[in-house]
Amino acid sequence: MSLIASVLMLNRKDVQALSIDKKFDAYALHKVVYSLFEDVRSPAEKLASTPSGFLYADHGGDYKSRKILLLSNRKPMPQVFGAYGQIQSKLVPESFLQFDAYRFKVIVNPTRRESVSRKLLPIKTREAITEWFVERAEQSWGFKVMPLQIQVDSNNVLQFKDKVQRNITLAQAQIQGVLQVANRTQFIQSFSQGIGRGRAFGCGLLQITPISEGLFD
């Protein structure tokens, strides 16, 4: 399956016109990204949480611009997006996912399911997030990380309303470090489909850089 890496750059006027000038307006940014891709899932697939085929990560910016990274199994459609922003895309070579070790950055939704109530509970401290990430990496995502090689850069809680005005609370942590591939097939799936929950709102995109080359330069 071919993968496409893209960068969406928005200037100040674009950000204001699209109503994403608020720092944590997660749903407005969600709408912008989803407008770039044809919806190819059936209602049944959506109910079954079939992956959308694209991921994104907000890199923020300054007063003048905002940068969003995208990874998708099909090309974004700027004509749907309209006259706002500029998109640059390139094909991810198959060789890019054949290295043994990578530096990484990722925004995750760190949660655990409570055994009795089955509710999802946020993981709050940096120490607990690190422990959760190390555990999940080897069990579910196909790579190993050492606790001393992980840095939790931020740990926030976003609150916003979805399209039917329901209140959404989303824990987000930004993590970086070094990973070692343990299961190649599982690792490629993690890169292609994202890791953890919250992927519809900018979580889960593994931004990886092999020792010898970069992807999102």
Taking the C-alpha atoms of residue 65 and residue 133, their distance in angstroms, rounded to an integer, is: 31
For the chain, the domains span 4-92, 95-210
188 neighbors 86 (Cβ within 8 angstroms): no
208 neighbors 191 (Cβ within 8 angstroms): yes
Domains 4-92 and 95-210 in one fold = yes
Per-residue model confidence as pLDDT tens digits over 77-100: 865 555 778 899 999 999 999 999
Fold of 4-92: Alpha-Beta Plaits (3.30.70)
Taking the C-alpha atoms of residue 189 and residue 72, their distance in angstroms, rounded to an integer, is: 13
Residue 194 φ/ψ, nearest 5 degrees: 90, 165
CB count, 10 Å around CB of 89? 14
Q: What is the mean pLDDT of residues 20-42?
A: 80
Q: What is the pLDDT of residue 85?
A: 83
Pairing of strands 120-122, 54-61: unpaired
Fold of 95-210: Alpha-Beta Plaits (3.30.70)
Question: Which residues make beta-bridge pairs with 159?
Answer: 169
pTM of the complete model? 0.88
Taking the C-alpha atoms of residue 139 and residue 15, their distance in angstroms, rounded to an integer, is: 39
